[in-house]
Structures are given as C-alpha cells and as structure tokens.
Structure 1
Amino acid sequence: MIYLVAAIAGMAGFLFGFDEGVIAGALGMLRGQFGMTPFLEGLVTSAVPFGALFGSLVAGWMADALGRRRTLLLAGLLFVLGALAAGGALGNATLGVARLALGFAVGLAAIVAPLYISENAPAEKRGMLVSIYQLAITLGILGAYLVGYAFSDSWRIMFAIGALPGVALALGIALMSDTPRWLTTQGKVDEARAAIARVRGWTVNDPRVDNELQAIRSAAALEKGSTGSWGDLVTPVVRPALVVGVGLFLLQQLSGINAVIYYAPTVFREAGFDAHSIQLLATMGIGIVNVLMTFVGMAFIDRIGRRKLLYWGFAGTALGLGMIAVGAATEARALDMIAIIGLTVYVGAFAASIGPLPWVMMSEIFPLKARAQGMSIASVANWGMNFIVVFSFPVFVTSFGLAWVFGFYALFCLIGLVFTWRLVPETSGISLEKIEEHLRSGRPFRELGGRSGALGAAAASRVAAHNRAGGLQ
C-alpha cells in the first residue's frame, strides 16, 4: 500500500517535471509566433518557478490547516486548469499567467507531496520512497520532451496534454487518507491508527500499530498547546536543519540543472547541433539518462547514505560542467563531443544524487512543529534561485557565452562538497522522531548518523531537561 501512496503523490512530481520540460519543445515556435525577445523568453519560461515561489510560501500553512491530502487535491485541480489555459494562450501575457498558475500548483505539490510520502513511510524505506517523487519529476521531464517531439508542430497540444496527469493526481489523492502524523496533531487518533494500519498492511489491532502511533503521539506531545511559527525556524533547535535544507536547495539550483532542463535544445544548438529535430532527439536522450540515473540514486540512497551520495553527486556534476565549458569554449568539432559527454555525466550525477536528496532531506530533517514552515522556506529558496537561474540563462549565454556560464555553475558544485562535509547530517534509516531528538540534544547536526550518532547519556539528560521545560525554545 505504501508504494501506491508514493506513486499517487509522485504524480505531483510528474506534473512538476512536465511543466518544467514542456517549454523546451515549444520555445522554437513561440519565438516566431509571439515575437519573443531573450528577455521575454526568460520571463515566460521562468514563470513556472516564479509562481512556485508563491505556492511554496503558503504550502506550509495550507498543509497544516487543510491537511496534506486536501492541499494535494487542490494542486491537482490547479494543474488541470493551468494546462488548459496555457494551451489556449493568445499571447505572451496570457501564456505567462497560465504558467504562473501552473507554477503555483508546482510550489504547493513540491512541498506537500514529499511530506505526504515521508510522513507515511517507514524509516528504513523513507529515502527510497521519497525519491519516487524525484523519479516522477524525471519521468515528467522525459514525457514533456517526448510530447514536444511528437507534437513538434503544435505547442498548444504540448501544453494541454498536461491536464491529463493533473486529473490522475486529483482522482488518486481523493481516494487516500491523510497522514498519521497530521491526523494525530488534529486529535484524530482513531483515524491515525487506521491510516497506519492501512498503509503498512497491518490489522488495526496489531501491536506494531500502537507502537508507531505512540512514537508519533510522544513527538506531538512536545508541541501540545502551541502551533508552529516562522520564528521557530531561527531557534537553536531548528536553525541547523534550516541551514541544511535551504543550503542544499540553493546549491542544487546553482548547479544549473534547470537551465539545462528548460533550454536543452538551446544548449545543444550552442554545442554545435544545428538541426532542430536533432536538438530535440538529443534532448530526449538526456531525458532518458535523467530517468535511468534516478533509479541508481533510489537504489543507493538508503544503502550508502545521504552524505556519501551527495559527495559523489557534487563531484560528478562539477566534472560534467567542466567538460561542457571546455567543449563550448572552442569551435573545434572534436570538442563538441566532449561537451555532449560532459552534459551526460552532469545530468547522470545530478539525477542520482543532488536531484532527489534535497527533497528527501527537506521532508525529514525539521521537527514536527516546524516541519511545514521549514519545508516552505527551503522550497522558497529552491524556487527563488530556480527563477533567477532560468530567467538569467538566455541573457547570460548571449552576453558571456556557454563556457563561462557552465564554468560558473561548476564552481558552486565544488562549494557543495565543502557544504556537505561541514554541515550535512546522515539521516538514512533514522526515524523522524530520532532526528528531532538529536536536534533537541544541542549536538552538532552533522554528527547525526555517524559513529557518535546515538545520543549519549549526557545528551539524553539535556533532552529530558528540555522536554520538561517544553517548547522548541
């Protein structure tokens, strides 16, 4: 049952990827039909991440007030309406507004779908299950590229097809229950017990149901009588999680991935592929690499752990971006192939590591009380930097050239290695309640999951004393 839950919530990831990737196949026609300048091209293209920024701002509040399930249902309906509006757009302004609406839906879903999966998943499978969301994003991107190739003469059909997975998300999530953790915070203990039993495939009377419910209630009891606030994010308990959550998303976006996703045919044109059909075929090849390497990441995320996978991911993306920069810096045809190989290495390393990991860790590192707000801020950082990268790419390539732009992205991947070493904890196989317990202990966050990851007696006494005092403060 948990796999069905993850698959339905993952449909939101498919829509995320589709609405990101579909513009790549449509831009060639839109430039001519709507007379797009590089500035307007950046504006319309970046409307999705800009809208997502606003969706992510209210997603935390909606997830707490309405529940995870109802918020996802609303996002599904917005996906349907936005796709139909984009397909019927009459100009740059109406297309931009439609893509803003789609972006708002993406912003809601990008927070609530991983949260919905994480709060339903057992600790030992949480990383892999939340990674289904990232896999769905890559499948959505590939689907958008395939649609772009199949309907290369009609951008309206490209956009409108996005309504179909929106309907699937709305119908699927309507049949699901909310998460046991949210139901518990609402005092709906019997519904929470039933939800645990349903998603685990146990009977309601199974002792394991009560054990899991008790752990959730104990964590929720720490926050009884108070509700999460934005101010909680800067308290000593939550601040380390905030730094990691925001930092990983900023570095993910500054690796330049969405410049490649949104403008893939443009990248191939700059690398020496002149025919538009060849650009689209090469783009689909990158989409396939993206999907296949996401499976690799899913296979290893709970085996070798988050930190090791981040090291490999940042190193691989830096190498790939460096190869693209070298290939693009010269007119030599032989080096064009180096750029293509580098792009493949880059996308593969990203898909296996720094693509899924920020989403996974965002959904698990924040304490229950501050989880929705923390995920909102991390997602705002993601979408804000996404917007800046996507909006600036066509202008920067025109001004500085592809080599310098990708060299700049490579530098931030190297910074990601240092960030991981200094600040990122290991959360693989650790329950959400144990992660919260470690944050409350006052020990450095990066020690979580290491050889000294288990709480010692002194740390445990600090936690007990803190819990007697109450609150996140």
Structure 2
Amino acid sequence: MDAATQQTHAAHPKAAIVTTCILAALAGLMFGLDVGVISGATQFIQAEFKVSDHVIEWIVSAMMGGAAVGSVGAGWMSAALGRKRSLILAGILFVAGSIFCAVAGTPTILIVARFVLGLAIGIAAFTAPLYLAEVAPEKIRGAMISTYQLMITTGIFLAFLSDTAFSASGNWRWMLGVIAAPGVLFLIGLFFLPDSPRWLLLVGRRHDAETVLTRLRGDQDTVRREIADIDEQLKTRQHGWSMFRENPNFRRSVGLGVLLQVVQQFTGINVVMYYAPRIFKEMGYDTHTQMVFTAVVGLTNMLATLIALAFVDRWGRKPILYAGFAMMAVGLGTVGTMMSLGIATRGEQLFTVGMLLFFIVGFAMSAGPLIWTLCAEVQPLKGRDFGIACSTFTNWITNMVVGATFLSLLSGFGNANTFWLYAGLNAVFIVVTFWLVPETKNVSLEQIERNLMSGKALRKIGQ
C-alpha cells in the first residue's frame, strides 16, 4: 500500500470504524425483524390453520432450533471462510427463509421455513459480535458491540409496527414476507465490509490485515502495536476443542459464556417479545390495543438500549447489570402481583402495562447488549470461535425452551405464578453477577486473556 493510500485511509479512521461496525451490526436488524414479526402473526396463523397453542409454540420456537444448529456451524464457517463470508451466507438464508414463510401452505411447512430463518440468525448471532469485537478499538468496543443489540431492538420495533399495519387485514403472510426486503439491502451492504484483521492474521494474510487496520485505526503506531499483540497470541497454536480439553482456564471462560447466555434468556425477555399480544390479552385489552401496545414495547426496547450505548464504557458492565436485573425483578414481580389481584379498572391496566415496560427498560439497558459484549470479551483469541459458539448455542437452546413453554406455563402454572417465577430468577441473577462476572471496562482483550490464563478468579480477570 503506497503513502497516498495510507494517508487517505488515515484521514477518517473514526468514520471508517463506525461505518464498518454499524454495517456489521445490521445483522442484528435481521435478527430483530424475525423475532418481532412472529409476535403479531401468531393469532392470525392460529385462526387460519385452526391449530392449538402447542403448535403455535412450535412455530415460534422452530426459529430458535434452527439458530442453535446455525450457531454450531458458524464456529467452523467463521474460522474457515472468515467473518465477512459467514455474514453473507446468513443474509442469503434470511432472504430465502422470509419468502418461504410467506408462501407456507401448512403449519409443518411454516415450521420448516422458520427453521431456515433460524439457521440465518444463528450464523449472524455468532459472527456479528465476534466481528465487532475484532474490529473495534478497545476504548469504544463496548459501545460498538452494543450497536448489535440496538439493531436487534430496532428490528423488533419495525416488525411490531409492520404487524400493527397488517393486523387490520389479518394478513400474516405479508407480515412474515415483507422482512425479505431489508434482508436484500443488508446482503448488498455486506459486500462493502472489510475482513476482520485478526482473522486475516490467523490465516497468514499479513499485508491485508495491515491495510484493514490502517483504514480502521489511522495511526501507524497503533496499527503496529495491535499487530504485535495479536502476533504474540498467535505463537501459541491452540484451537477450539483441543484447547477446551487441555486448558482448564479456557474451560472457565467457556463456562462463563454459557452461563451468561442462560441468564440472558431466563430474564424472560423473549416471553414478552414472542407473546406480547397474548400478554396484553390477559390484561383485558382488545386485539387492536394489543397490537398498539406491542409496538410500544418495541419502541421502549429500542430507546432504552441507547442507555447502554451511552454509558457502558463510562459506568462499566457490572453496575449496569445490577441496575437492570433489579428493575426486571421489580417489573415482572409487580405484573405477577397485579394479575394475581385482578386487573379490573383502566388505571390498573395502564399501571400493569407500565411495569411491563419498566421490565423492558431494565433488560434493554443491561442484559440485552452487555451479555453479548461480555461473551465476546472473555474468550481468548485462539479459542474465541469455539467459546462464542458454545455460548451462542446455549442462547438459542434456552431461547427455544422459553418460547416452547410460555403458553403451557400460563395455562398450567397460572399467569401470576409464571411472572413471579421470572421475577425470582432475575433476583438470583444479581448474585450471579456479583460472584462471577468480571468488569471489563477499558481493558484490552489481550489483558483479559492474560489474567484468565494466569488463573485469576473470573470476576477479577478484568483487573
């Protein structure tokens, strides 16, 4: 690369890094569209196909099953094909799955189509945070990775708005099919992404890695230091499964990533995201109002994510997690109490909706973005693909369990008890955060790895 090119790249490194990270994080938009769109469609699917709540649970949760499978394959693809090509494959599957859903003639075909969509989401959910962790400078890494969660919440909100627009006609096929359009735009944008410099060094493409880092960092001294840090790590040739078998410290980081994803899903967030209209129905609202409040849930989720973006690299991970879990426990506990006492008046309805939104704010500002951030940060470079694959697979399995059991819990365990159960879990997660979660604010990935491999307690590896 000549001096003129270097100068051009160095002129706007901040613009380059932000543009690159936002474009990669658009994978989260696809994720959010798919999560949100099914919420408004289920009642119309149930009416057309005349199926039970159990079949609806399968239609909802099939996507998570596909995502679990996709996340397993994503580890290999990300290492062999690169982060960029893996995201392109996810985009192709997303567009195909969306169209497949729209033309499904039976519940079985719809379940298969949702599974294909899940494959796309599983690949993207693994690859996008990994890519973001590897291209973002450490000072803004938390905020940049959190843009992935912001895009998820934006997608959910847009899907809820789309569902509300189509709800008057009850045309669930348009609800599920229209998301193919932004999927095509996302796919086109992916071709403009650079490859991850860390992956380029892993496969021996040093000149390409230097070119990308120069574009993203601008300063040549910073580029040299970062390449030197990565080179130092690459001297130890350990990979995935063999590293997991041989290195107990790596097993600790994998275990932490798995636990964090269990925690995120059992906050109960996807109970609301997948079944919001049903929850508002239990509060006594009619179909139109259910859809309007579902859109409000999406808007609240999106706006509250901005709190994490603004403060994650100033306040730190753990203080925000403490606040978020406390808010979620109070919010769901109050919703359960109101359902137990009976929601009779307009004021009681609005108060209960307000507490559900309070829960949404708690999640969106904390566990939503920060769990993904931490899962990317705590894994050492040589085992990062394997570690994130394990945690992402766990995310989707627990996500599927939540999606496949909520309606059954409501009917068998009761409305109030179901919400109290999730409130209690959020209270437990405050203790989990204290004992096991490290504070990684303003700490390089290389320093976190050194602390982990030296045997420091998990909650101290960010010190």
TM range (shorter): over 0.9
2:275 pairs with one of 263, 270, 292: 263
Alignment partner, residue 375 of structure 1 = 388
Q: Is the 8 A contact 2:75 2:385 kept in 1?
A: yes
Q: Is the 8 A contact 2:283 2:343 kept in 1?
A: no
**CA displacement at 1:235 relative to structure 2:** 2.8
Q: Secondary structure at the match of 1:237?
A: helix
Alpha-carbon distance in structure 2 between the residues aligned to 1:191 and 1:5: 16
State the superposition RMSD in angstroms.
1.3
TM-score, normalising length: structure 2: 0.94
Within a 5 Å distance, the mapping from 1:396-415 to structure 2 comes to: 396-415=409-428
Within a 5 Å distance, the mapping from 1:1-400 to structure 2 comes to: 1-152=16-167, 153=169, 154-200=171-217, 202=218, 206-223=220-237, 226-229=238-241, 232=244, 235-273=247-285, 275-334=286-345, 335-400=348-413
Q: Is the 8 A contact 1:233 1:374 kept in 2?
A: no
Task: For residues 402-437 of structure 1, give each alpha carbon's deviation from its aligned partner in whole angstroms, at most 9, with x where no partner exists.
Answer: 211111111111111111110100111111111111
Alpha-carbon distance in structure 1 between the residues aligned to 2:245 and 2:150: 29
Please tell me the residue identity of whatever aligns with 1:351: A
Query: In structure 2, do the counterparts of structure 1 residues 86 and 233 end up closer, same or farther at CA, with 3 Å as the change threshold?
Result: farther
Q: Secondary structure at the match of 1:355?
A: helix
Alpha-carbon distance in structure 2 between the residues aligned to 1:227 and 1:238: 11
Alpha-carbon distance in structure 2 between the residues aligned to 1:79 and 1:165: 10
Q: Secondary structure at the match of 2:314?
A: coil
Q: Secondary structure at the match of 1:303?
A: helix
Alpha-carbon distance in structure 2 between the residues aligned to 1:430 and 1:418: 23
Alpha-carbon distance in structure 2 between the residues aligned to 1:35 and 1:416: 39
Q: Which runs of 5+ in 1 are unaligned?
A: 454-473
**CA displacement at 1:50 relative to structure 2:** 1.1
**CA displacement at 1:230 relative to structure 2:** 5.7
Please tell me the residue identity of whatever aligns with 1:336: Q
Within a 5 Å distance, the mapping from 1:434-449 to structure 2 comes to: 434-449=447-462
Q: Which runs of 5+ in 2 are unaligned?
A: 1-15
Moved over 4 A (4+): none
- The count of corresponding residues between Structure 1 and Structure 2 is 444
Query: In structure 2, do the counterparts of structure 1 residues 348 and 181 end up closer, same or farther at CA, with 3 Å as the change threshold?
Result: same
Q: Secondary structure at the match of 2:323?
A: helix
Please tell me the residue identity of whatever aligns with 2:306: F
Please tell me the residue identity of whatever aligns with 2:198: R
Query: In structure 2, do the counterparts of structure 1 residues 231 and 188 end up closer, same or farther at CA, with 3 Å as the change threshold?
Result: closer
Q: Secondary structure at the match of 2:315?
A: coil
Query: In structure 2, do the counterparts of structure 1 residues 26 and 234 end up closer, same or farther at CA, with 3 Å as the change threshold?
Result: farther
Alpha-carbon distance in structure 1 between the residues aligned to 2:283 and 2:252: 41
Alpha-carbon distance in structure 2 between the residues aligned to 1:111 and 1:332: 41
Alpha-carbon distance in structure 2 between the residues aligned to 1:235 and 1:88: 49
**CA displacement at 1:231 relative to structure 2:** 5.3
Q: Is the 8 A contact 1:25 1:149 kept in 2?
A: yes
Please tell me the residue identity of whatever aligns with 2:116: A
Q: Is the 8 A contact 2:240 2:387 kept in 1?
A: no
Alpha-carbon distance in structure 2 between the residues aligned to 1:394 and 1:423: 32
Query: In structure 2, do the counterparts of structure 1 residues 46 and 234 end up closer, same or farther at CA, with 3 Å as the change threshold?
Result: farther
TM-score, normalising length: structure 1: 0.92
Q: Is the 8 A contact 1:271 1:327 kept in 2?
A: no
Identity %: 39
Alignment partner, residue 460 of structure 1 = none
Q: Secondary structure at the match of 1:238?
A: helix
Task: For residues 197-235 of structure 1, give each alpha carbon's deviation from its aligned partner in whole angstroms, at most 9, with x where no partner exists.
Answer: 1122x27xx232212111111112223xx4332651673
**CA displacement at 1:363 relative to structure 2:** 1.2
**CA displacement at 1:68 relative to structure 2:** 0.5
Q: Is the 8 A contact 2:24 2:193 kept in 1?
A: no
